[in-house]
């Protein structure tokens, strides 16, 4: 059961606030009965909802996990005509939007959905959804550097911080580390290393919340399972 104004919003009729005004104006019927008060709930599968006499159906909500390849963008259109992640999806799913973004060179797990509440839940800093990254860096990275990242550093007037940072290997030619972040500021992982004069050669997002990239191949997608969706909305 969902509130009537949310049902109208999910169907693309109006925003929740505008939907409330439509209900109060008596323009909505449920199973033929006019509704003029807020708080009414409907069953999307069984109730018949109409606005101004026209049937309204909630859009099917979709939740996808995509392995974004390196060398494509998360915008629907790109001013430089670069490949986009939307070219990897069926054309009938052009109403989906990415949940956050990964930059052109970054690869790994990203979600797409037509559920605005789901997208907000995963991108707003107050929800502290953890995202895990595998980072390959030119040159040697010291454990002290990663510890510094977990305490937080300032870069271009903005505080950047990793919740966890673990060094997997360190050498003269390259180093590999895993970082967990919650805020998802623009290019945050790259900027952390740039603040120490280091260049990230490869960046891959391995996990969002409890959902892992796993064996999903670059350029491929899958639908999220019900338990995965619930864990992310937890």
Q: What one-character-per-residue DSSP string does 142-177 give?
A: -HHHHHHHHH-EEETTEEE--SEEEEEEE-SSEEEE
Quick one: 110 exposed, middle or buried, by C-beta within 10 A (0-12, 13-18, 19+)? buried
Cα torsion 205, 209, 213, 218: sign? negative
Cα torsion 149, 151, 155, 160: sign? positive
How far apart CA 113 and CA 223 sit, in angstroms, is 10
Quick one: 195 exposed, middle or buried, by C-beta within 10 A (0-12, 13-18, 19+)? middle
Annotated catalytic residues are 103
């Amino acid at each position: 059961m969902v509130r009537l104004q949310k049902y109208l919003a999910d169907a693309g009729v109006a925003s929740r606030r505008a939907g409330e005004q439509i209900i109060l104006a008596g323009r909505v019927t449920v199973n033929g009965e006019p509704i003029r008060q807020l708080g009414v709930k409907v069953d999307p599968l069984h109730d018949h909802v109409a606005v101004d006499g026209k049937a309204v159906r909630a859009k099917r909500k979709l939740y996808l996990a995509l392995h974004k390849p390196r060398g494509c963008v998360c915008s629907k259109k790109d001013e430089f005509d670069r490949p986009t992640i939307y070219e990897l999806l069926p054309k009938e799913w052009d109403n989906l939007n990415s949940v956050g973004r990964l930059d052109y060179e970054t690869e790994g797990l990203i979600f797409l959905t037509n559920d605005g509440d789901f997208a907000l839940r995963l991108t707003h800093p107050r929800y502290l959804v953890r995202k895990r990254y595998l980072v390959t860096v030119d040159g040697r990275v010291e454990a002290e550097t990663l510890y510094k990242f977990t305490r937080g550093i300032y870069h271009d007037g903005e505080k950047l911080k990793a919740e966890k940072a673990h060094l997997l290997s360190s050498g003269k030619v390259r180093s590999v580390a895993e970082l967990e972040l919650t805020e998802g500021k623009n290019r945050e992982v790259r900027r952390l290393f740039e603040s120490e004069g280091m260049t990230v050669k490869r960046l891959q997002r391995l996990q969002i919340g409890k959902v892992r990239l796993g064996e999903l191949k670059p350029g491929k997608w899958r639908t999220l399972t019900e338990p995965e969706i619930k864990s992310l909305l937890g």
